Structure 1
Amino acid sequence: MNPQGKTLRTLAAARRGLLVPGAFNALSARVIEDLGFEAVYITGAGVTNMAYALPDQGFMSLNDIAEQTARIRDAVQLPLLVDADTGFGNALNVRHTVRTLERAGANCIQLEDQVSPKRCGHFDGKDVLPTAEAVAKIKAAVDARQDADFLVMARTDACAVHGLEAALERAERFAEAGADILFVEAVTSEADIRSLPARLPQPLLINLVIGGRTPIQDVAALAGLGYAFVLYANAALQGAVAGMQRALGTLRRDGRVDEDPAVVVPFAERQRLVGKPALDALEKRYAA
């Protein structure tokens, strides 16, 4: 059994507004751990954007997210919450998805109730499954887990399609089906943000998309309201793109890039983050 799962369950129960950044590969997860965060969210949008240069519109496969999960599990010791989109099919596919991602090292799987192909929760054009079908997929996920501390997070995108009350009704059904964490996506008003923790039984995650539809909130205020997790799924991705544009813009403009920490991370810091000193020590240990 996985100790990170017990840790994540404890963090969820505390409902203290834990900041959870999103990772799109192993190095981004390592940076998150190195900065002292307590959990990592493996973002489907980030994997899709960075691996394929495509938008978050259902292009990611189960193999894509499982491969990244396994690599990230090997790179960090933190609990991993993994974005599994719609579960990549029906309830039986969800069962296979849970088994696959649990083996890969996930501690929590996030499933959403959109029809396929899904879209980013902050895009237009979303639609959701019938409630009964969505509930069945959550039941399948709960039944499929091998570790009792593997958590199932149920996300609903119904707010944008049918309104807040419909989304709340779905979230309650997901809780009854065994979901450990609830996630109402793309809430657009501060009043609704304030109301959700008092209206739903399970620990809640709120997704703050930079430039998205949910108003950015102070994490202390969200903790005071009782949110368990405050997700910044693609802050690292957007920061990485800004950094690439800055460094390559300097190279294009000046014809050179020096080791300026305002432009690039220093060479020694890059080697530290990828664990070169520890590997150097192992190399000496195993030298003939």
Structure 2
Amino acid sequence: MIERTHHELRKAFSALLKGSVCKFAASVFDPISARMAADLGFEVGIQGGSVASMQVLGAPDISLLTLDEYAEQVTRVGRTSQIPIIGDADHGFGNALNVMRTVTELQKAGVAAITLEDTLLPAKYGEQSYALIGAEEAASKIYAARFARTDDALCIIARTNVSVTSLEDSIARTTAYQKAGADAICLVGVKDFTHLQSLTSHLCVPIMLINYGNPALSDVEKLSAANVRVVVNGHAPFFAAIKASYDALREQSGMQGADIPLPELISKYTYSEHYREWAKTYLKSDSSAV
């Protein structure tokens, strides 16, 4: 097997973005899953932040994972993978200066691209978990990310959730991110192709979709024609591994009882209820603090 360098993998991902065909990203979470994805013909993978939070901390995706912890995990994937890996950099782990550090660490880890989202993280208690920061601040993070990279082949992907704001605001945001130099725009919450067209007709850069299996956006030819180059359909491989692990351990233990559905299984073993109670106790707004 001829191994490709990180720079070569970044060039391959850049070529994918500049191509004419939409590709589905494999959700990978360790070296073996990355090797499997390459062997099964995937041309790009993604290491999800939510997956890393569960895998590294056994915790839900509530911004507990640190940059160092994520970088360590993606390094294990990056040094093995022979397909380009997209790193989920969340909000860059802080402000624009933190973004610069994030780019430095994830570039060193071997990712081919990073997504930077405009979500307000960590979420404030009592407010929606998908509140967005200002477009100007988010665009500044894109500028900072471009400045910090030392390999121009590393792609900076600006991510926004279009389901939590107006169409006009989403268009203004993505316009600003494209102007700031984003190599691609990642959209979350697109309803259908009509919605996609409204959101992207002003853009020149390629599109990435976080789709979670929406059947209204499953036509590969139409996705390709709409300048969508990467689609992420959730993180089913990791969740399947969790369920299989539980079932195998239960069988080995000899314990009897009803099977636990996957959502309940994830909630139970990431201590979701504990975190909700801790949030009620310790996350107080300025007006309610004692």
- Relative to structure 1, the CA distance from residue 17 to residue 155 in structure 2 (aligned partners, 3 Å threshold; closer, same or farther) is same
Consecutive unaligned residues of structure 2, counting only runs of 5 or more, are 1-5, 257-290
Which whole-Å CA distance do the structure 2 matches of 1:27 and 1:216 have between them?
A: 29
Aligned to 2:129: 125
Aligned to 2:56: 51
Q: Determine which of 196, 201, 204 is the counterpart of 1:201.
A: 204
Which whole-Å CA distance do the structure 1 matches of 2:78 and 2:207 have between them?
A: 24
Which whole-Å CA distance do the structure 2 matches of 1:254 and 1:115 have between them?
A: 43
What pairs up with 1:23-172 in 2 under 5 angstroms?
Answer: 23-117=28-122, 125-157=129-161, 159-172=162-175
Residues matched between the structures, number: 249
Deviation at 1:253, TM superposition (A): 6.7
Aligned to 1:174: 177
Aligned to 2:224: 223
TM-score by length of 2: 0.78
Q: Which amino acid aligns with 2:209?
A: I
Secondary structure (helix, strand or coil) at the match of 2:228 reads: coil
Q: Which amino acid aligns with 2:7?
A: N
Q: What is the root-mean-square deviation of aligned Cα atoms in Å?
A: 2.5
Q: Is the 8 A contact 2:217 2:223 kept in 1?
A: no
Deviation at 1:72, TM superposition (A): 0.8
Per-residue CA distance 1:224-269 (angstroms, 9 max, x = gap)? 33211111341212222333344345556799xxxxxxxxxxxxxx
- Relative to structure 1, the CA distance from residue 15 to residue 56 in structure 2 (aligned partners, 3 Å threshold; closer, same or farther) is farther
What pairs up with 1:1-16 in 2 under 5 angstroms?
Answer: 2-16=7-21
Deviates most, 192-201 or 88-97: 192-201
Per-residue CA distance 1:196-237 (angstroms, 9 max, x = gap)? 443321100011225xx7855233432233211111341212
- Relative to structure 1, the CA distance from residue 15 to residue 204 in structure 2 (aligned partners, 3 Å threshold; closer, same or farther) is farther
TM-score by length of 1: 0.78
Secondary structure (helix, strand or coil) at the match of 2:26 reads: strand
Secondary structure (helix, strand or coil) at the match of 1:75 reads: coil
Which whole-Å CA distance do the structure 2 matches of 1:214 and 1:144 have between them?
A: 38
Secondary structure (helix, strand or coil) at the match of 2:79 reads: helix
Identity %: 30
Deviation at 1:58, TM superposition (A): 0.9
Deviates most, 244-253 or 81-90: 244-253
Consecutive unaligned residues of structure 1, counting only runs of 5 or more, are 256-288
Q: Which amino acid aligns with 2:182?
A: A
